[in-house]
Structures are given as structure tokens and as C-alpha cells.
Amino acid sequence: MRAVVLTHTAPIESSPLRMLNRVVPQPGPAEVRVRIRCCAVCRTDLHVIEGELPTQRLPLVPGHQVVGIVDALGAACVSLTIGQRVGIAWLRHTCGTCEFCTRGQENLCESSLFTGYHADGGYAEYAVVPEAFAYELPDVFTDSDAAPLLCAGIIGYRALNRCNLPDGGRIALFGFGSSAHVVMRIALHRGCEVFVVSRGEDHRELARSMGASWVGGDAADMPAKVDSAISFAPVGRLVPASLATLRKGGTLALAGIYMTDVPVLDYERHLFYERDLRSVTANTRADGRALLTEAARIPIRPRVTEYAMDDANRALQDLKADRISGTGVLRIAAD
């Protein structure tokens, strides 16, 4: 099979991903093999490729927003069938028995394994995944619609829950990439008001066109305080300014898997009056199922830019440079 492979970590500008021929993987017990149709690119892929996250495996096929068709079943598979369309997301294994798993916080499991990090992911023609960690996809979504929901959507959804947005409340989104534009659709559908802070004019224009009440490049220019905020930018120095936009009792959720250092906070200005600062760590499968159900009901149609599989380096270069409006999606197969 053809696969886009990382053999060494390096800045994406150096085009470190290589197209190689690899053996088609075989599913193990309780695993399914998926013939991949498309895979969305993600900023976490950049953190893996550029070595900002500790290297777990090389060579590695990146990618964890995978849409495809089940074409082989391992022994002991009980729920999926050959020919069924499924999604593969970041979380691919938990122990199921630790204190976190048994109380509904499997995203904190010490034995967690992740797609496109600990195991080969979706920048390839085939991938395997434990059956229990594959998502059945609603028919309302095209392949390209579904792919961004499998990480950008799921993490955005968890961040939205973590930021305690009240019904009909006001939320600020810092950064307006893949996750933020999915979150915005959900927030608007719930009757909330959305402010967007983004450094890119293309992103600001997209936010305006989608119905943001206020859009700007500086949080200090916001016309009012907000009940909740989500920072999608992996830039710690933005945290104090984000906290300063909150009303009393407000919550800021940090949605990234990686962030630069957060500077010293002023207690009274940033945290007093019961303002909360909360991180977001991966997702649970329940998050994924809930997001797909709500997104199908709305329904959400993510803004996507498609790239050929051979153009994976360019897609990630465009992502890093904020040249993608919405989400970049690698087209792996035409059918």
C-alpha cells in the first residue's frame, strides 16, 4: 500500500514526510482493518512531526481523523461488519480497568494509546484499529464532512463542555481553525452569542460569515465580557488576556494538546471572582459519540480544503502558516 511516512522529526517546512510503499496491515484479535477514503490534517500532527511531543514511534504514519470502509475483521469482532463506513480518532486504546476508566474519564487513563502517535494512522491506504475504538458514522455526512469531526470536532466539543457555557450565554473563541469553526456552529445552534479573536483576516472573515456577533484581532477590543472562553491557540502568553475577558464566575478552557509556557497571572485580575482555568486532555469515546449525534442533528458541514495524498507536506505547511480556511483533508481514495 502507499503511505505517507515520518522517518525523523523535523520542521514541516523541510518536507519530512515521504511517500513509501508498505505492507498492508492485518487486523489482530478484536481489530478491524479500514480501507481509507480520507484523513483530515490536525495541528497535533504538526506537534508529532516537528518533535514538540515526545517521539513514541519511528517510522510512523501520522493522521488521526480517518474515514474509511471496514474491509477485514479480526477474530472476536462482534459489532462492525465488512463494508461499513467508520471513523478512526486520536484515542485508540485504554485499559478499561483503572480508576479513570471506571469513572468515565478514560481520556486520563495512564495506559492510553493514540492513533498517528503510538500506532500508524490515516495518511495511508489502510489502517487497523481496535473495533471498540472505531466510530460508526451517520449517513448525513460525506467523507470530507466527517473527517474534521473526528478530532477537531471531538476536542472542540469536549472544550465546549469544559468551559461551562450557560444556555444562551456568550462565548469567546481564541483562534479560528478547525475546532473553533465546528464549536461555533454548535454554540450558535444552542442559541449562544459568539465572539472570535483571530490574527488572520481570512479566519476573521469566515467567522463573520458564519454569524459571529463580534470579530477582531485583539481581545481588549471586545464590546463586553463573556461567560465562557476557549483558547485553541497553543500560545501560553495569550492565557492572561483570555482570562481577562471573562465575567465573574466565567471559565476558560485550553483546548490544545501542547502549549508554550503560561506567564505569571495576576490573581485579582485573572482568577478572582471564581473564574476558572481548565485544560482539555484528549477525549472519551462518549465525547465522540455525543459530538457525532449533535453534529448530525444540526447538521454541521465543516469548511474543508482538499489535498491529494502526495501533498501531505504542503497541507501541513499551509496549516502551520494559517493558510487553510476550515480544515485540510487528504483525499486517499476516490470511492
Q: What is the pLDDT of residues 167-198, one digit of tens each?
A: 999 999 999 988 999 999 999 999 999 999 99
Single pTM value for the model: 0.92
For domain 154-279, which architecture applies? 3-Layer(aba) Sandwich (3.40)
Least confident of 16-25, 92-101, 135-144, 324-333: 324-333
Residue 227: predicted pLDDT: 98
Name the CATH superfamily, with its identifier, for domain 2-150+282-331: Medium-chain alcohol dehydrogenases, catalytic domain (3.90.180.10)
- pLDDT > 90? residue 4: yes
The torsion of the CA quartet 239, 48, 160, 304, rounded to 10 degrees, works out to 110
Q: Per-residue pLDDT for 335 more than 70? A: no
pLDDT, mean over the chain: 95
Q: What mean pLDDT is predicted for residues 225-231?
A: 98
Mean pLDDT of 262-266: 93
- Domain extent listing, the chain: 2-150+282-331, 154-279
* Confidence grade of residue 226 (pLDDT, cut at 50, 70, 90): very high
Does residue 326 surpass a pLDDT of 90?
Answer: no
The pLDDT value given to residue 177: 87
By three-state DSSP, how is residue 108 classified? helix
Q: What share of the chain is helix, strand, coil (3-state, %, to 5)?
A: 30, 25, 40
**Predicted pLDDT of residue 334:** 56
Helix/strand/coil for 152: helix
CA torsion angle for 73, 94, 152, 250 (degrees, to 10)? 150
pLDDT at 45: 97
Q: How far is it, in rounded angstroms, from Cα 47 to Cα 49? A: 6
> Looking at residue 258, what is its pLDDT?
84
- State residue 333's pLDDT score: 85
How does residue 325 score in pLDDT terms, banded at 50, 70 and 90? confident
| pLDDT computed for residue 256 by the predictor | 83
